[in-house]
A = this chain, B = another copy of it.
Amino acid sequence: MSVTVVGSIAFDAVKTPFGTRERMLGGSAVHFALAASFFDAVHIVGPVGDDFGEPEYAVLHDRGVDTDAVEHVPGGKTFFWRGEYGWDLNNRETLDTQLNVFADFDPKLSDAARAADVLFLANIQPELQQRVRAECRDARFVALDSMNYWIESARDALIKTVSMVDCLMLNDAELRELTREPNLVRAARQIREWGPRVVVAKQGEYGAAMVTEEGFFALPAFPLETVVDPTGAGDCFAGGFVGYVAAHPDSELSHELLCRAMAYGTALASFSVEEFGTERVARLTTEEISERVSELQKLTQFAEKPIALKG
């Protein structure tokens, strides 16, 4: 079986307190694809320009990602983003956005991409997400990301898109903004009433929370002494989470399985931020992932023990 991701392919320029990169491979579809590639075959769908060359394809091919549905727009330039992070990495400022070929993106899926059983709709225009979702008729699990721009400029279309998927993954501030509900538990309930059975709130350095029919689950971010570049962490989280689901084609999507998916998403996101852009995930090993998930389990578990409380 396989996963298809539709989203941006980009060059990023970033400055963090730990250094700068003037031009590094990025984009939500790229970060997702590399993370998900540890779990299943991945098809990436997105547009690139003439500046996207062999070195960039090589990063994807080295992880076995199928790039047949990467659309090369002749004469075009690849989406470019420049940003800078503040001292605690929690605030970032966008200094430049050049949509370039991404401005007229009209996803064209290959047969293989269309036949995937799992689909991740990264942050693109909601109507395009709807069309791709409809095209992937056989997808048994579809997860969706979006951003404040679409919540503010196309809320109705976005809510319609939300109603067509199984899982919504947003930053918690975006979940609040979309539902107009400040309480996360209530926001998740509203989302579930719109359609998705799974709601994931990405909480940056605080980790992630999930709500399913069976209830709530939360994990902290993996504690790291050095966070170099948060760019792409949310997409790597999605790649680990959705990838884990894709790796279990014959299992019921139980709450328990999705809790483990949260753990793998958390692990992949934690590696992503250790270095710039895709650098760390591109040379990650399966052993490192398994070890981190084990460590994460240890640092989130406590054993109950009876205690005589004073009434």
Contacts and interface: CB of A to CB of B under 8 A. Distances in A.
8 contacts: A17-B182, A38-B309, A38-B311, A207-B218, A219-B300, A220-B220, A285-B311, A290-B307
Interface string A263-293: 1000000000000000000000110011001
Given A203-B206, A220-B209, A294-B304, A225 B311 contact: no
Contacts of A256: 302-303
Number of chain copies forming the complex: 2
Interface residues on A, range: 35 or more
Contacts of A244: 307
Interface string A135-168: 0000000000000000000000000000000000
A301 interface: yes
Nearest to A258: B302
Contacts of A285: 311
B301 A300 contact: yes
Given A259-B302, A263-B302, A300-B300, A182 B87 contact: yes
A215 to B, nearest CB: 6
Interface stretch (A71-79, A121-129, A183-191): A183-191
A134 interface: no
A33 B294 CA distance: 38
Given A209-B223, A302-B262, A311 B297 contact: no
B299 A216 contact: yes
The main secondary structure of chain A at its interface with chain B is: loop
Interface string A10-47: 00000001000000000000000000011110000000
Contacts of A216: 223, 299
Given A244-B307, A310-B39, A299 B182 contact: no
A201 B205 CA distance: 13
A88 interface: yes
A219 to B, nearest CB: 7
A247 interface: yes
B289 A309 contact: yes
A94 interface: no
B310 A286 contact: yes
A50 to B, nearest CB: 31
A89, A217, A285: residue with the most chain B Cβ atoms closer than 10 Å: A217
A224 interface: yes
A189 B226 CA distance: 13
Contacts of A259: 301-303
Given A183-B224, A256-B303, 17 more contacts: A39-B309, A39-B310, A40-B310, A87-B182, A185-B225, A186-B225, A207-B220, A215-B298, A218-B223, A219-B220, A259-B302, A260-B303, A285-B311, A286-B310, A290-B309, A294-B304, A300-B300
